[in-house]
A = this chain, B = another copy of it.
Amino acid sequence: MPMTGVLRPGHAQLRVLDMEESVHFYTNVLGLKETGRDKSGRVYFKAWDERDHNSVILRQADRAGMDFFGFKVESKEVLENLDKALKAYGVTTERMPAGEMMETGERVRFKAPTGHTFELYAEKNHVGNGLGDFAPEAWNPDQKGISPVRMDHALIYGKDIDGTRKLFEEVFGFRVTERVKLEDKTTDLAAFITCSTKAHDLAMVRHGEDDKLHHVSFRLDSWEQVLRAADIMTMNRVSIDIGPTRHGITRGATIYFFDPSGNRLETFCGGYEWYPDMHEITWPVEEVGRAIFYHDRKLNEAFLAVVT
């Protein structure tokens, strides 16, 4: 695939209001594996089939939200090149030293036009999925709770989504897969962009306030796993925003729900394989309901209003 050196969404650092309650939730309900805690009190998690040490980091704070979202790149050389490219594009970058985040190498940090902090990094220690690299079994039976396969993408809210989209397109080589257009048929209400064959690795919605998180998303293997996830949410009295249902955009089947601090998360499955020779898909704002919630065909109140 002819793309840049960005591999995938690699980590998200989320702010939570009560660490103990949150660790219980992310471990036993969402079913991530706790992989470590650092001196500053942050707790690190990975999804079962991820091989790197961590993909979700929780930090206790007095308000919910996402501190930053990181992408793993192919190599240290790519990291250096993308840092230069960011600067050439006019973006200020900052270096976070290796080890500042557990088991993770040096990170290049920058602020996107929507106010979100993003990071690039080339190194995170490989801890594996418990199956080994030699004649492995098909999956790891040591799982709790919903137990997604991997952290998959985020949907962010902010003002200048054109600026953030362009930065990812022009500096990192992301490609637009789908857009929702406002009444003027020109302005994007939302854009979905990818650095792989996934229908989206990052998505953004135009919103009056910057640096907001709509959701961080976790991949499940099947629609039956989506039902099981919803059941587990109810058994644990997790606040479900919507679902199980399907998105028109990406075709993925989904549940939106909230962690105990009010951060929206998603568990989903499916979605088409995207290739760069496919035509971009456009949704008019009149169809935004079906675009987002394919069965209800209307947005719920929370979709545009509730972010952290």
Would A290 and B222 count as touching, CB distance under 8 A? no
Within 8 A of B (CB), among A1-35: 1-8
A233 within 8 A of B: yes
Q: Which residues of B contact A280 (CB under 8 A)?
A: 133
A275 to B70, CA, bound (A): 16
Copies of the chain in the assembly = 4
Within 8 A of B (CB), among A234-252: 234-235, 237, 240, 243-246, 248, 251
A3 to B295, CA, bound (A): 37
A283 within 8 A of B: yes
A126 within 8 A of B: yes
Contacts A3-B3, A126-B277; is A227 near B243 (CB within 8 Å)? no
| B-binding segment of A86-94, A95-103, A135-143, A260-268 | A135-143
Give the B-binding residues of A (Cβ under 8 A): 1-8, 49, 51-52, 72-75, 78, 126, 128, 133-139, 141, 149-150, 195-198, 221-224, 227, 230-235, 237, 240, 243-246, 248, 251, 253, 255, 270, 272-273, 275-284, 287, 290-291, 294-297
CB<8 Å pairs between A and B, sample of 21: A1-B6, A1-B195, A1-B197, A49-B272, A51-B278, A133-B281, A133-B282, A134-B283, A135-B291, A138-B248, A141-B235, A222-B222, A222-B223, A223-B223, A227-B253, A230-B295, A234-B294, A234-B295, A237-B297, A240-B295, A244-B244
